[in-house]
Structure 1
Amino acid sequence: MDIREIQNLIKFVAKSGATEVKLEMDDFKITIKTTMEGSAPEATYVQHIPVAQAMPQAPAAPAQSAPATPSAPAAPAGGNDDTSKYVTIKSPIIGTLYRKPSPDKAPFVEVGTSISKGDVVCVIEAMKLFNEIESEVSGKIVKVLVDDSSPVEFDQPLFLVDPS
């Protein structure tokens, strides 16, 4: 199930008036909960729980250990560029990435920007909540891997940082 299908499911649940919907597939679970009108502001929550035992493949083990560290070193992308010395800032959630705090402002970071641990590098909108994504390393942005206003997946690489 991709991000568009999840977004369509959320819209459908919101329009239907249901208070809770659970969907379980082979490799994940999604629970969507909404509050009743009058009790609190309406909110929709999505919980994505990967099911590890459904995928007992040997190559999956290294990929499953990678999410434990939000900024693991990037793998070499090709024969020309050696990106193994860079640290990858990855998306901790699914949603829509925005590189600017608002449409009329400058981006949080650009290629060449020096950042410190804790600096905001972008925001990700999920369920109409804007989540600031902070850098877990200090260094210089060497590559921006996503476009502004684009959907991102959990653990998707967003930026490459040179920590030296």
Structure 2
Amino acid sequence: MDIKEIQSLIKFVAKSGATEVKLETDEIKITIRTGSATGGHETTYVQQVPMAQAPITPAAAPVASAPETPAQKEAEADSKLITIKSPIIGTFYRKPSPDKPAFVEVGSTIAKGDVLCVIEAMKLFNDIESEVSGKIVKILVDDSSPVEFDQPLFMVDPS
């Protein structure tokens, strides 16, 4: 079981309302608990850690700040963007049907409630609507690709 499967399981348990789930295989044992006696919210995360790690040593001298690189400027610009994520697991489609145009393209202006794509899950086609207004900057998933819960689909500039 890899870390993505574990994370998906944790998210599923949290949304299901179950208070405790135990999973045990030959390789791993996981217990996930949500909710506590005090009414708070608690989730136990289990992660596999590599056996051999290099020791972490503190820096001996302070490092002078370097001039901003283009990658740093792009990262700063990306921090202003809003990421629209998949609310379900399924197959991502940019078009309502093969003979129709895509719902949105890079550069499209969208309003809250506009349909951005369709995700097919168990033979049901679910319209994914925008929760924000803005401009599509990036489309992060290819048409007809499988998507996971909470996977980034679009980057939107809200300004």
**Given the two structures, how large is their TM-score scaled by the length of structure 1?**
0.57
List gaps (5 residues or longer) in structure 2.
Answer: 15-31, 34-42, 48-70
The reply to whether residue 83 of structure 1 matches residue 114 of structure 2 is no
Q: Distance in 1 between matches of 2:100 and 2:140?
A: 20
TM-superposition CA deviations, 1:66-113 (whole Å, max 9, x none): xxxxxxxxxxxx535120111111000000000000011110000010
The equivalent position to 1:153 in structure 2, one of 148, 151, 159, is: 148
* Greater strand fraction, Structure 1 or Structure 2: 1
Where does structure 1 differ by over 6 angstroms across 4 or more consecutive aligned residues?
none
Residue aligning to 1:103: 98
Task: Mark the structure with the bigger radius of gyration.
Answer: 2
Q: Distance in 1 between matches of 2:85 and 2:157?
A: 14
State the number of aligned residues: 106
Q: Distance in 1 between matches of 2:157 and 2:98?
A: 28
List gaps (5 residues or longer) in structure 1.
Answer: 6-24, 30-46, 58-77
Asked if structure 2 preserves the Cα contact closer than 8 Å seen for 1:27 and 1:54, the reply is no
The reply to whether residue 139 of structure 1 matches residue 142 of structure 2 is no
- CA separation of 1:136/1:26 partners in 2, compared to 1, >3 Å: closer, same or farther? closer
Residue identity (%): 69
Residue aligning to 2:9: 28
Amino acid at match of 1:89: I
Residue aligning to 1:41: none
Q: Distance in 2 between matches of 1:107 and 1:118?
A: 16
**Given the two structures, how large is their TM-score scaled by the length of structure 2?**
0.59
Residue aligning to 2:13: 49
Q: Distance in 2 between matches of 1:120 and 1:105?
A: 14
Amino acid at match of 1:49: V
The equivalent position to 2:124 in structure 1, one of 104, 129, 132, is: 129
User: How many Å apart are 1:54 and its aligned residue?
Assistant: 3.4
Asked if structure 2 preserves the Cα contact closer than 8 Å seen for 1:27 and 1:55, the reply is no
Q: Distance in 2 between matches of 1:27 and 1:94?
A: 10
- CA separation of 1:162/1:54 partners in 2, compared to 1, >3 Å: closer, same or farther? same
- CA separation of 1:27/1:106 partners in 2, compared to 1, >3 Å: closer, same or farther? closer
